[in-house]
Amino acid sequence: MKLSTKLVIGLLALGQLSYAQNPSSVPPNRTEVKPTATITSATQGLKKFEGYFNFYYDEKTGKILLEVDKLGQDFLYFSSLSTGVGNGGPERGQASSAMLKFVKEGTKILLIQPVMNYRADSKNKDEINAVESNFAKSVVFGFVPVAAENDKYLIDLTSFIVRDSQGIGSRLGSTGSRNAGAAGGGYRLDETRSVVYLPNTKNFPLNTEFEAMITFVGSGGGGIAPDPSAVTVNMHQSFIALPEEGFQMRKFDPRSASGQFSYMDFSAPMSESITKRTIRRHRLIKKDPNSAMSEPIKPIVYYLSRGVPEPIKKALLDGGAWWNAAFEAAGFKNAFQVKELPEGADPMDIRYNIVNWITRSGNPARAFSFGASYIDPRTGEIIKGVVTLGSDRHRQDYLITIGLLQPYIDGKKLPKEIEELALKRIRQLSAHEIGHTLGFNHNFAASPKDRASVMDYPFPKFSMKADGTIDISDSYTEEIGSWDKRSVIWAYSEFKKGADENAELDKIMNETLKQGFEYIPDIGGNVHPNSNQWEVGKDPIAQMANIMKVRRKVLDEFSEKAIPQGAPMATLEEVLVPIYLLHRYQIEAVAKFVGGLYFTHAVKNDGQVPTKMVDPATQWSAFESLMGTITPEALALPDGLISKIPPRPSGYPSSIETFSGNTGPTFDPIAAAESAVSTTLSYLLDAERAARLIEYKARDSRQPGFMAVVDKLLEKTWKAPLPEGYKGELQIMVNNEVMRYLLQLAASSNASKIVRGQALLKLEELKGFITAKLPGAEPNLKANMLFALVQMDAFKADPGKFQAPPSIAVPPGAPIGMPNMDFLNDGQLH
């Protein structure tokens, strides 16, 4: 998901690395003082780990002694967080990388990080040295050898391993990250409570792996750690061999799905850009490059970690294997394979592309799955793909389906289609994250073209049959997408000997454009109406109508059939949340039409239209669709359902996965509605959207403009007749939310001055309307009007200090994933 990002495609920042410094630029040894001990004598009795860099473990002292036998040779260094802090703090999987080498300098062995982002792609050594000498290198660490033997040196690596390689200490307790202590509390590494973590300290032919358990101590003030004054995490560091030469780099094209790898080439001719952009991809070579279809010399093989239960294991293997069809379209036979990791093999071995199925803890255990890559910093070649999939990712789909079908009928088994929908999502997830490790970005514009890519974020497709039942049979696609095939064809096709690669790539891209594909990755997608996450269908506005129709029917019939026998009635709320907010992602999709912009990543003379404003009629249609989400009729819950949800019993506390409220322990239907209304207004009254509406109106008088949108919004809310009873209270809540968002916009330093001014004007006009209507208003409405006037007066008196009343917290949305749903443990898909 959000290589994910937020998952970006790789958690590694390797795309920015460059060639290592030329060894000739390192000053020669001035003093040759060798240790008197030999490696053989110094390591006698120690446990030896043979591999890329041999190392020894001293069980008495807990030290790691590294055998340095590759002086001056570049290798890839990777540092990552194996365990996270939790609760939004430093997360498991966060990583950094560099290219390093050991250099002998006098009496020390230095670990040097050469110049990374700048190089001279030249055969002239003087040019190379001229560039390198203009940029500083870094000595990362220094060691005094404890032994030497046959040009090999033994160093104590323990202090390098047992250190804060991720800079966690400086972030614990800092403002905005109160996970382990009070804001501003300082944390420092405690060496007495930090050790080498031997279970994950391993060696392989092409990589050497170290891990440490690091404890930070400080003035904790309550948080996620059992003892907030001592926060312990695991940090992992890797030394990895760079691949053999011979990898063929391929140019980057912003219209392709391939992720960018770039560097600065100071030897480039004046007529060319100094920034060189290529793509990230695996090495894949045909046995017969002149054959239209050929087996590869070495296929790309991914291995699923052992221990995944069925039927999930088969779903992961099947979904990942979809990519083979894309490689077949690029002319490769059996080039992509997915297998279970062989018994005895280790996922840390750099030779294995790995798909990890991991269990996360917590209530709730929310996190994105992601696809990361180890990348050669010289070329952009993907050395290893590492996919991390959360074991609970299917459960939210399972929960949505339970809510839609409400299948818990006494004496009947759950329909097989519920489990199958969850398995379909797992297949999609496997294909999606593997796609990132193949070098591909998201394409959030794939949905309108018949769900053309697994690199989109899919939402389950459902509809209502003529008999009123919900149809989920076409929930997810079950094959690689047509866009994904075009992506692989462009990135991995091998051309006949003597062919002009750039010309062949242009032919592929032109054919892709002719087929009508759109490509919008993460950047810029918040303004393009066809670039949407968790949305499905060719027409988002029509799909909104479908979702709202299904949602209304399900809510009207919502009952205890949504929970299994024996589950507390209060847990109806866990199932209700995703159904009540079933339209939350569609709201964002529809809102993009208002002040939206169609655009392409066009290049000169490719025939694409760079930008086009959304036509006014479509924008107003989208506006009306959004207004349909905040009417009392859309927000109201049946009284029979409200009365079935009691306060939470012991053992089933409220969480961020349940609705917040203002009524104490009782279920608050007004607050639940406020969370839905807040979702709509947060998109509609967004500061950047308002600025675009104003700018587009200035360039084209037919465009709606921001003030006209606000006028229509006030007509639909404050100036609309007030219903009676429960629906009247819902309307009053909606009115308050509209005013609150306008006040926030007028006070926001993130909004342009023009936006703030127009928001202020509309507030003044609203104030005039309320003042005129106040004398004749009925008491309930009059009370709300008076409160509104007080807020507007407070804002006008001191806009800089004004703070609007806080909104109700909205249960989290993306990732569609991992609430704690123990009450669903009915023997299926655990």
Q: What was the pLDDT predicted at 13? A: 37
**Cα-based torsion angle of the residue sequence 547, 550, 553, 559 in order, rounded to the nearest 10 degrees:** -100
**Cα-based torsion angle of the residue sequence 115, 121, 125, 131 in order, rounded to the nearest 10 degrees:** -40
Among 26, 164, 201, 209, CA closest to 101: 26
**Are residues 690 and 745 in contact, defined by beta-carbon separation less than 8 angstroms?**
yes
The radius of gyration computed from the CA coordinates of the chain, to the nearest angstrom, equals 30
Those residues with Cβ within 8 angstroms of residue 608's Cβ, 6 or more apart along the chain or in another chain: 513, 600, 602
Give the C-alpha separation, 530 to 372, whole Å.
27
User: Which residues is 703 bridged to in the sheet?
Assistant: none
- 682-693: burial string, b at 16+ Cβ within 10 Å, e else: bbbbbbebbbbb
Give the C-alpha separation, 676 to 633, whole Å.
13
Quick one: what percent of the chain has pLDDT higher than 70?
87
Give the C-alpha separation, 251 to 249, whole Å.
7
**Are residues 272 and 323 in contact, defined by beta-carbon separation less than 8 angstroms?**
no
| Residue 207 dihedral angles phi and psi, to the nearest 5° | -155, 145
With H, G, I as helix, E, B as strand and everything else as coil, classify residue 363: coil
Q: Tell me the average confidence (pLDDT) per consecutive run of 10 residues in the chain, 830 residues long.
A: 38 34 39 73 96 97 96 92 56 70 95 84 83 83 94 96 82 44 60 93 96 84 62 90 94 95 86 91 96 97 93 96 98 97 91 84 55 89 90 76 91 86 93 96 93 93 92 94 98 94 96 96 89 90 96 96 94 96 96 97 94 98 98 98 96 91 96 97 97 98 98 98 96 97 94 97 97 93 95 91 86 57 31
| Tokens standing for residue 11 | 């958690």
- 303-312: burial string, b at 16+ Cβ within 10 Å, e else: bbbeebeebb
The helix (H) or strand (E) run that includes residue 491 is: helix 482-492
Among 735, 742, 706, 698, CA closest to 718: 735
Q: What was the pLDDT predicted at 48? A: 97
Domain edges within the chain: 1-8+249-529, 31-107+144-240
Angle CA 79–84–89, to nearest 5: 110
Q: What was the pLDDT predicted at 675? A: 96
In sign, the C-alpha dihedral spanning 559, 563, 564, 568 is: negative
Task: Please give the distance of CA 457 from its chain centroid, rounded to a whole number.
Answer: 10
Give the C-alpha separation, 753 to 739, whole Å.
19
Those residues with Cβ within 8 angstroms of residue 58's Cβ, 6 or more apart along the chain or in another chain: 46, 64, 65
Top-level class of domain 1-8+249-529 = alpha beta
CA dist list (Å): 133 to 65, 116, 124, 378: 33, 13, 14, 19
Angle CA 593–594–598, to nearest 5: 45
| Tokens standing for residue 448 | 């309108």
Q: What is the largest CA-CA distance in the chain?
A: 99
User: Which residues is 108 bridged to in the sheet?
Assistant: 105
Q: What was the pLDDT predicted at 397? A: 81
Helices (H), 494-647: 501-514, 540-556, 572-580, 584-591, 616-627, 632-635, 639-642
Q: In the structure, how many helices (H) and strands (E) does the chain have?
A: 21, 26
Angle between helices 416-437 and 312-321 (to 10 degrees): 50
Give the C-alpha separation, 40 to 692, whole Å.
71
